[in-house]
Structure 1
Amino acid sequence: MRLLFFFLLGLLFLSSCKSLQYRLPDEAIYSAFAKADIPTSISYVEIDSLDLKVRVQSVTQGIEDYNLVFLHGSPSSLTAWQAYLKDSTLRHTVKLHAIDRPGYGYSNFGKQMISIDTQTKVISEVINQLNLKNVIAIGTSYGGPVAARLPIENDHIKAVVMVSPAIDPDNEKRVWQSDFTQWWLTRWLVPTGYRVAGDEKTVHAQELAAIEKDWSQVNVPVMHIHGDRDELVPFINVAYSQSVFSNVEVVPISGLGHEIAWARPELVIPYLLEMIKKIKQTQ
């Protein structure tokens, strides 16, 4: 009976493997944006020291000299931000860039990078190589603390917006499903994107604890948007942000959970426009 269970489980994962990777090839992205009549470009930034290529999708119609850089959670990819890159107000106002974090999408897919500090350095190098100035870093879930750490690494970061960020090491919620990505007997059954997510999740609390002493160095405006019914990343993460960032605005979203960034872009976009306006007024 146990063998039958694992056989059926294997068939389930193998049959759904492609649909659970949360990534689209370049051709599919170009096709979707062409149908929407939105010019877009995809580039691969090489990080030679890590033998890594990072995929970036950009929409650069905006008339203002500001760049929004979007960092997804896990498992996910830059496709989580398609609604933002297609939004008429955003794309006509500023330049937009969505990034496949290392290990996801088409950025060395399957090769996990569990260090938040290293991921931040990679994203900072991408920003430098693309010569982006006046950057607002937007990150959701795991991407939240990566976005928040960017101002420490890169002087071009002018503000941070975190949506449902997993940033509090003492309230990092254990996800039992991650155990399947760590057990040798079941790891091979799990789709690649989920294995990378499991590897990140398993050490996420330790990684957050290792960098929490540095949050006092973040000297740009920070906005923390969070649903008060988030069961994956508890709402108490808001209190942590209030305690560690000197210039933070908290935006509680009543009645919603962890899905805000990708499922409710219409709620987030006005706050991004608000942050752009705020930064313009201070320069």
Structure 2
Amino acid sequence: MLILKKILKFTSILLLVALVVIYYLFSSFTAPKSNKVVLEKFSQTIKPIITQENFKGFKYRKLTIKRDTTLPTLVFIHGTIGSSTDFVEYMKDSTLLSKVNMISYDRIGYNFEDKNSVQESIAFERNMLNDIIKDLNPNKTIILGYSYGGPIALAVKQKLNKIILLAPALYSKVEPMPWALNLYKSSLTRWLIPDIWKEASKEKLSHRRDLKNFEDNWKSSPNKIISIHGTNDWIVPFKNSTFLQNQLPKNQFDLIPIKDAGHGLVWSNFNEIKQELLKQLD
């Protein structure tokens, strides 16, 4: 019996240590990175210019690679949770760099050491994006929105070159609410959640309600729209893209399914997405 107690005690300690290590690694991996760490990701290629921008009193980080003013500009919008570095592989790719200038930015609440909270408003995010692209030639501006960034891109009513969506979360009726959100909703367990995931939880919980202000008017977009979506996406179901497909005429909308891909397709299916981007740039 004494040996059994020692084994259980030792096993409990190991399990506790393992959980602490996993929590630390999870928090570190998902936390926004410093400028120094961001630039290290571009050590073997052209480094972006990192600037601190301001919108309505909120400071945010912007990464810009501008090589040729005659080229179009591709503006990336990250999801929830996310950051400007979600698109590093695209911004490092030599073939893409030969075709397009690129901009990526941290939305409010997701900046490195950000003291501000997420704004929980597609309208605010759209207005911020409009401010970012205001000095770009609209005929040479392409917006790419991933996940929560999808409805932000789609909410822009200015006529642009085109809008590209990656697994866009734009239909409230199929918005899943993961069980893990209960950890945030309860004051007893909220302290367990890393700060950046608290911000993501806030945004997730308000997103379904906010979408209802926009989702019946996606058809008012003046832009050509391409949606790339994984057929096995359970975080942002494929029905989001078919919902949009049913709103728009065939000559305005193209749906590109990636068979069996999940919500992480922006990373896991880089080559397929890159090829689709190149088609849109040619």
TM-score range, shorter chain: 0.7 to 0.9
Deviations 1:1-58 (A, max 9, x none): xxx9xx989956863464143422111122332x2131320112111x3x20121111
Residue 279 of structure 2: aligned partner: 274
Amino acid at match of 2:264: E
Q: Greater shift after overlay, 65-74 or 19-28? A: 19-28
State the SS of the aligned residue for 2:215. helix
- How far did 1:161 drift? 0.6
> 1:196 and 1:100 mapped to 2: Cα distance?
13
- Flag the 1:126–1:149 CA change in 2: closer, same or farther, 3 A: same
Give, in angstroms, the shift of residue 108 of structure 1: 3.5
Residues 131-175 of structure 1 show CA distances to partners (whole Å, capped at 9, x for unaligned) of 22221110111111111112x1x44x3211111111111111111
Contact 1:22 1:75 in 2 (8 A): no
Percentage of matched positions with identical amino acids: 26
Give the aligned partner of residue 29 of structure 1.
Answer: 38
What is the rounded CA distance, in whole Å, between the counterparts of 2:27 and 2:223 in structure 1? 39
Residue aligning to 1:240:
243
Deviation at 1:107, TM superposition (A): 8.2
Q: For 1:45 and 1:29, locate their aligned partners in 2 and report how far apart those are by CA, in whole Å.
A: 17
Match of 1:219 in 2: 222
Q: 1:1-283 alignment to 2 at 5 Å? A: 11=20, 15-16=24-25, 18-33=27-42, 35-47=43-55, 49=56, 51-62=57-68, 64-106=70-112, 108=114, 111-128=117-134, 131-133=135-137, 134-150=140-156, 152=157, 154-155=158-159, 157-246=160-249, 247-277=252-282
Unaligned runs of 5+ in 1: 278-283
Structure 2 alignment gaps of length 5 or more: 1-11
User: Is contact 1:64–1:95 with CA below 8 Å preserved after alignment?
Assistant: no
What's the CA shift string for 1:88-135, capped at 9, x where partnerless?
01112111011111111338355111111111111211222xx22221
Cα pair 1:63 1:93 within 8 Å, conserved = no
Secondary structure at 1:256 match in 2 = coil
TM-score (ref. length: structure 1): 0.86
Q: In structure 1, the residue corresponding to 2:188 is in which secondary structure? A: helix
Which contiguous aligned blocks of 4+ residues in structure 1 show a shift greater than 4 angstroms?
A: 7-14
Q: TM-score, normalised by structure 2?
A: 0.86
The DSSP-based 3-state class of the residue aligned with 2:117 is coil
Change in Cα spacing, 1:115 to 1:13, as seen in structure 2 (3 Å) is farther
**3-state DSSP class of the match of 1:176?**
coil
User: Aligned equivalents of 1:37 and 1:61: distance in 2?
Assistant: 13
Q: Secondary structure at the match of 2:254?
A: strand
Q: Given residue 232 of structure 2, which amino acid in structure 1 is its aligned partner?
A: R
| Alignment: residue pair count | 264
1:78 to partner: Cα distance: 0.9
Q: Which amino acid aligns with 2:203?
A: E
Instruction: Report the counterpart of residue 280 of structure 1 in structure 2.
Output: none
Which has the larger Rg?
Answer: 2
Maintained 8 Å contact 1:81/1:98: yes
Quote how far apart the aligned CAs of 1:63 are.
6.0
Q: Residues 64 and 94 of structure 1 are in contact (CA less than 8 Å); yes or no, is this contact kept in structure 2?
A: no
